[in-house]
Amino acid sequence: MYSQFLQSCGFEAEEIRKESSRIDRAFHIAGLGPEDIERAQWRIRKYFDTTLLGVRQSLKIWLKRFTDLVLAREEGRKIIVYPSWPPEPRIVSMVAMASEDVFCETPEIVMDVVLGQIFDKINPVLEAGEEHGLPPGLAMCALNQARLGGIVKGVVPVPDMTITTSFFCDQTPKTDELLHELYGVRNIFLDNCMDAAWDEPVEVAPRCVSYFAAEIRRVIKEFEEAAGVTLSEERLREARAAYARPIFVYQEIMQMLKEADPQPISQVDLGLLYWLIQAPEQKSLKEGLAISNNFAREIKARIESGYGVVAKGAPKIAWFCHHATDPGVMRMVEQTGLAIPVTAVIWTPPWLRIKSEFTTFAERVADQTVRGGINRSTKGIIEFFKRCCKEFNVDGFLYLYFFSCRPICFSALMVKKAIEKELGIPVLALEGDVWDTRSYSVEALKTRVETFAELLRSRKLLEARR
Partner 1 sequence: MLVAGVDVGAATAKAVILSNGGIVGQAIVPTGDRVVTAAENATRLALQQAGLWKEGVDFKELFDFVISTGYGRHSVPFAMKAVTEIICHAKGAHFLLPTARTIIDIGGQDSKAISLDEKGNVSNFVMNDKCAAGTGRFLEVMAHVLNVPIEELGKIALTSNSPCQISSTCTIFAESEMVSLRAEGKPKEDLIAGIVKAVASRVAVMARGIGFRRDVVFTGGVAKNIGVKKALEEEIQMNIIVPAEPQTMGALGAALLAQAELG
What are the residues binding partner 1 (CB under 8 A)?
A: 413, 426, 430-431, 439, 444, 447-448, 450-451, 454-455, 458
**CA–CA separation, 438 and 436 (whole Å):** 5
Closest to partner 1 by CB, 184 or 424? 424
In the complex, minimum distance from the CB of residue 456 to partner 1, in angstroms, rounded to a whole number: 11
Closest to partner 1 by CB, 130 or 281? 130
**CA–CA separation, 148 and 73 (whole Å):** 17
Q: Which residues pair with 81 in a beta bridge?
A: 105, 162
Closest to partner 1 by CB, 156 or 427? 427
In the complex, minimum distance from the CB of residue 116 to partner 1, in angstroms, rounded to a whole number: 20
In the complex, minimum distance from the CB of residue 403 to partner 1, in angstroms, rounded to a whole number: 9
In the complex, minimum distance from the CB of residue 420 to partner 1, in angstroms, rounded to a whole number: 8
In the complex, minimum distance from the CB of residue 429 to partner 1, in angstroms, rounded to a whole number: 9
In the complex, minimum distance from the CB of residue 277 to partner 1, in angstroms, rounded to a whole number: 33
Q: Is 140 left (phi over 0), alpha (psi -120 to 50) or beta?
A: left
Closest to partner 1 by CB, 13 or 413? 413
Cα 373–Cα 320–Cα 368 angle in degrees, nearest 5: 25
Closest to partner 1 by CB, 11 or 402? 402
In the complex, minimum distance from the CB of residue 123 to partner 1, in angstroms, rounded to a whole number: 17
Eight-class DSSP state of 192: -
Q: Is 85 left (phi over 0), alpha (psi -120 to 50) or beta?
A: beta
Closest to partner 1 by CB, 82 or 440? 440
CA-nearest of 49, 16, 11, 28 to 264 is 49
Please write down the HEC assignment for all residues of 264-325: CCCHHHHHHHHHHHHCCCHHHHHHHHHHHHHHHHHHHHHHHHCCCCCCCCCCEEEEECCCCC
Q: How many CB atoms lie within 10 A of CB 421?
A: 8
Report residue 410 CA to chain centroid gap. 21
Report how many helices (DSSP H) and strands (DSSP E) the chain contains, helices first: 19, 8
Closest to partner 1 by CB, 186 or 459? 459
In the complex, minimum distance from the CB of residue 148 to partner 1, in angstroms, rounded to a whole number: 25
DSSP secondary structure of 2-54: HHHHHHHTT--HHHHHHHHHHHHHHHHHHT--HHHHHHHHHHHHHH--TTSHH
Closest to partner 1 by CB, 373 or 396? 396
